[in-house]
Structure 1
Amino acid sequence: DWHVPEDEVYAQTTGRDRLELLRKSTYSTSEVLHNKALRFDGVDDYVDCGNDSSLDITGDLTIEILMKADTDTPTAGGVVKGTVGVWASNSYGLRNSNNNLRFFISNGSATEFVNIPVPKGEMCHIAGITSRADGKLYGYLNCEKVVEGNRTIQSINVTTNPLNIGRPFLGGASLKGEIYEVRIWNKALTEEELLQYKDRKLTGNETGLVAYYKFDEGTGTTAYDSAGNNHGTIYGAVWVVAGITLYNLARNILTDAGLTEEEYYIDPELKDFPVPYAWFDSQSHREALRKVAEACLGQVYCDRNGIIRIEGPSFLQSQTEPVATITQDDYFRKDNPVKWSEIANYVEVETQPLRPDVVEEVYRSNNPVSIEAGQTKTITAYYNHTPCIEAQASLENAVSGAEITKTTYYAWGANITVSSSNTGTFELVINAKPLKVLNKEKAIAQDEGSILDNGTLKYTFPANPLVQTREVAQKIADTLLAYFKNPRRDVEVEWRGNPALLLGDKVAVVDKDEENEYFVTRQELEYTGALRARMSGRRA
């Protein structure tokens, strides 16, 4: 429950300030949020990134790759400086070895390496790190060190062969799967830096970052290096939309609100809830976070230390013992109200699959635009339908010498700069793919025995734009049916209160007949000569 405490309600000032910030500040996304990736066919796809001297790393080194290998991939592929099948003839890399990624360095005649396991069928972050000073090679899987080995090589071999992504060597089979990001550093990242950088987009200006492939172009045959000029040419691999997760969205919302990593916590379980496409129109950060939490039946709250926490649906189940017991001596009033409006034996959840439609004209100048010889003019265009992706601007009926010199596309529109060497007019036209809710599906959970005895008591989950897949919708329907079966599942207690209780804490409530356990869903405390609390709980 989002409750911004008033003066008479207990809360730490820092937590109250952060809740107020989220409630009052505005959040929107200028772009559609989704991950693009390069998909490799497992045969001969690869990216050639050239052999610029910035890639001639001889001392400390870090290689990171964010990838997903298909369950039937014949190889883990590679990120290798060098294309020769003989290991020692290359410089360094993460290269396939029995479906591991072997992090290796070479001095031209010998290699030293560690093998890092590659899980199949799931997105994973793999990093190889070596420091000449400490004489070690380390292998990390999802930022946890899984292997280490000794390093005696003082200077890594320099080869004129290019950096390849996706295949282990010239003629070697490529990865069958997707690559989302690749980063190469001429420094040994610390574990703290590895964690800090793992789930965020970098600027490209970070110290020691020499190559950074975001693979977010989505079109064309070039993979751009956001840290330098080591742009790659794509051979065979194709662009795909990989989607993001509720975890990514929550992090984006919280950081946009100005909170630092020390001021919030996001449950890793949110990574299990994919969102193919996400877009937020103008709304409060609080409302955006509410939609994220609702889309997984999670919860958002401020803990006793003032930390904003967003928890996944399994957080409550992880608690085995009550943190407090409330007896008849502690409370003044206790009630288990029957909430007939929240009883259901038939739950329906409808997906809201946001998908790109066919290309259409989303903007055209109302009137011809005048331009003088030598003039440069920037036009802000607002699409007829939002959001849109893959926009492309063009000029029609344009004076000779007029051309588009700069484009910046957003989900809602674009800034288009036009220059002309002659005086005249032009019409600006933008074609794009609107994102629309297409092919909805319904996930249903029902208690057939209850329906037979009582008739159908239907509950329809409110439409949530982040519930886009049938699998997620079914999870929600099944969980809600379990909630809604019991008409007396909630408790309301007025009692002496405990300021240390958090939302989601499990408590035991005892009366003369029985003892039941509940999760705290709301608590308000006030002090009027003595502490008093009003608490609501959900049956555990």
Structure 2
Amino acid sequence: MIQSVRIYGAGTLFAAIFSMLFLTSCGDDSTTDPIPNPTTGEIQGTVTEAITGDPVAGVTVVTDPPSQVVTTDAEGKFSISSALPNQYRVLASKVGYLPNSVDIQVIAGKVATADIMIRGDGKTDALEFDGTDDMVVVPDSPELDLSDSSFTLEFYALAHSFRTGGGDRWNSVLGHGPDNSELDFLLGFESAKPMFYVRSYGSGMVGKTLLETEKWYHIAAVQDVSTNKLFIYVNGVLDSESILKGTPVTTSADLFIGARESFGSGNGAHFFDGILYEVRLWNRARSASEIQETMKQPLLGNEANLVGYWPMSDGTGGEAADKTSSGNAGVLKGGGLWVEIDSPFQ
């Protein structure tokens, strides 16, 4: 028996009837919201000791671009959730170990694996030069042409010997431009002291610190066009400074590591006798505190203003990789040797 009649608009009546029929046939589950499409991914990995393969607990793991900072568990495992789709560099570090990193791609809804090996004995690889004909040649590119701008050069060097006699007292480590009117910069050692010349020798100086053989030194040289000054730092401490003079030059020459180019011939000269590690080139003037902050750690390769980064720790092959986006790998010439060393970071 119908007890009452209610009149609805056509749309409202249809909705009411549909709702009653649907709920009666399907039950409450029909109201569950659909699962949204995933918009982030996850990074998982294990950190192990490079020699033994044992998992390493308590390792700090960070990403660049930044997402989360996590620590490995007792089994060396870590997980970073809610990582936005992107290309990441994942860096693992712990006191007593050499840091290391891997590059990964995170895809939405997927797990990216980032297994990392770190060395606990303080050992790493570097490149040894014989002082006769060994060098690394990096093809010229716009990132290397810095004569009219501020820049910073850095490297670690352990010299087996220094040339000290007469006109042959130069030991070149970084040379861009031939030994003529096209020299952009030259950094190395004159006798056993650091030397830095720019703008076809229009400006430059020899440092004050007398260096020893078979000992690691961190050398940095800075050209600051805002103050018209040149600086040399040894182990992060200011060694000497000079006035920047001369006219900026333009060169299409290659960058030489472990030597300099001889008068536009493409051949090397004034070769360095020793081991080189962590060669860095920045397109701005770095301060003493900035140099000190990063001199005892590897870089990611995408730091602001870093335009060339050759760790020289490849360990094998005929190239020295550039870990910046510039990708200016250097070619080994003359027979340089990859050698295992005690890291100067320690």
Helix, strand or coil at the partner of 1:35:
strand
Report what 2:206 is aligned to: 115
Instruction: Give the partner amino acid of 1:47.
Output: V
- CA change 1:191–1:27 in 2 (3 A) is farther
TM-superposition CA deviations, 1:356-400 (whole Å, max 9, x none): xxxxxxxxxxxxxxxxxxxxxxxxxxxxxxxxxxxxxxxxxxxxx
Q: Report the CA distance between 1:203 and its aligned residue.
A: 1.0
Report what 1:50 is aligned to: 139
Specify which of 58, 62, 81 is matched with residue 176 of structure 2: 81
Report what 2:86 is aligned to: none
TM-superposition CA deviations, 1:326-360 (whole Å, max 9, x none): xxxxxxxxxxxxxxxxxxxxxxxxxxxxxxxxxxx
Specify which of 327, 332, 336 is matched with residue 229 of structure 1: 327
TM-superposition CA deviations, 1:170-211 (whole Å, max 9, x none): 341311110011101110001111111101111111111110
- CA change 1:73–1:32 in 2 (3 A) is farther
Q: Report the CA distance between 1:152 and its aligned residue.
A: 2.9
Kept after mapping to 2: 8 A contact 1:167/1:173 = yes
Helix, strand or coil at the partner of 1:242:
strand
- CA change 1:71–1:95 in 2 (3 A) is closer
Q: Report the CA distance between 1:243 and its aligned residue.
A: 2.3
Report what 1:164 is aligned to: 256
The question of 1:134 aligning with 2:227 is answered yes
Instruction: Give the partner amino acid of 1:233.
Output: V
Kept after mapping to 2: 8 A contact 1:76/1:100 = no
Kept after mapping to 1: 8 A contact 2:162/2:191 = no
- CA change 1:52–1:27 in 2 (3 A) is farther
Report what 1:215 is aligned to: 312
Q: Determine the C-alpha separation between the residues in 2 that align with 1:76 and 1:119.
A: 14
Q: Report the CA distance between 1:41 and its aligned residue.
A: 0.4
Report what 1:124 is aligned to: 217
Moved over 6 A (4+): none
Q: Report the CA distance between 1:101 and its aligned residue.
A: 3.1
Report what 2:154 is aligned to: 64
Q: Report the CA distance between 1:244 and its aligned residue.
A: 2.9
The question of 1:105 aligning with 2:198 is answered yes
Matches within 5 A, 1:4-15: none
Report what 1:244 is aligned to: 343
Kept after mapping to 2: 8 A contact 1:102/1:114 = yes
Matches within 5 A, 1:19-418: 26=74, 30-33=116-119, 34-57=123-146, 58-71=148-161, 76-82=171-177, 84-86=178-180, 88-106=181-199, 108=200, 110-116=201-207, 117=209, 118-153=211-246, 156-170=248-262, 171-227=268-324, 228-235=326-333, 236-244=335-343, 271=346
Helix, strand or coil at the partner of 1:194:
helix
Q: Determine the C-alpha separation between the residues in 2 that align with 1:133 and 1:63.
A: 17
Q: Report the CA distance between 1:72 and its aligned residue.
A: 5.8
Q: Report the CA distance between 1:67 and its aligned residue.
A: 1.1
Instruction: Give the partner amino acid of 2:220.
Output: A
TM-superposition CA deviations, 1:410-465 (whole Å, max 9, x none): xxxxxxxxxxxxxxxxxxxxxxxxxxxxxxxxxxxxxxxxxxxxxxxxxxxxxxxx
Q: Determine the C-alpha separation between the residues in 1 that align with 2:186 and 2:162.
A: 23
Q: Report the CA distance between 1:102 and its aligned residue.
A: 1.7
TM-score normalised by length of structure 1: 0.38
Please identify which structure carries the higher helix content: 1
Kept after mapping to 2: 8 A contact 1:79/1:164 = yes
Q: Determine the C-alpha separation between the residues in 1 that align with 2:196 and 2:75.
A: 41
Report what 2:43 is aligned to: none
Kept after mapping to 2: 8 A contact 1:68/1:121 = yes
Q: Report the CA distance between 1:94 and its aligned residue.
A: 0.3
TM-superposition CA deviations, 1:236-290 (whole Å, max 9, x none): 2110011237xx5xxxxxxxxxxxxxxxxxxxxxx4xxxxxxxxxxxxxxxxxxx
Q: Determine the C-alpha separation between the residues in 1 that align with 2:155 and 2:194.
A: 10
Q: Which runs of 5+ in 2 are unaligned?
A: 1-70, 77-96, 98-115, 165-169, 263-267
TM-superposition CA deviations, 1:471-490 (whole Å, max 9, x none): xxxxxxxxxxxxxxxxxxxx
Instruction: Give the partner amino acid of 1:51.
Output: D
Instruction: Give the partner amino acid of 2:206.
Output: N
Q: Determine the C-alpha separation between the residues in 2 that align with 1:212 and 1:27.
A: 33
Q: Determine the C-alpha separation between the residues in 1 that align with 2:230 and 2:125.
A: 31
State the identity as a percent: 25
TM-score normalised by length of structure 2: 0.59
Kept after mapping to 1: 8 A contact 2:187/2:195 = yes
TM-superposition CA deviations, 1:33-92 (whole Å, max 9, x none): 23111100010110000101111112101000111001466753320111x233x43111
Q: Report the CA distance between 1:142 and its aligned residue.
A: 0.1
Helix, strand or coil at the partner of 2:126:
strand
Kept after mapping to 2: 8 A contact 1:64/1:182 = yes
Helix, strand or coil at the partner of 1:54:
helix
Instruction: Give the partner amino acid of 1:65.
Output: F
Q: Determine the C-alpha separation between the residues in 2 that align with 1:95 and 1:123.
A: 14
Q: Determine the C-alpha separation between the residues in 2 that align with 1:32 and 1:159.
A: 40
- CA change 1:131–1:32 in 2 (3 A) is same
Kept after mapping to 1: 8 A contact 2:162/2:171 = no
Q: Determine the C-alpha separation between the residues in 2 that align with 1:95 and 1:244.
A: 21
Instruction: Select the structure with the greater relative contact order (CA < 8 A; seq sep ≥ 6).
Output: 2
Helix, strand or coil at the partner of 1:89:
coil
- CA change 1:102–1:25 in 2 (3 A) is same
Cα RMSD, aligned residues only: 2.4
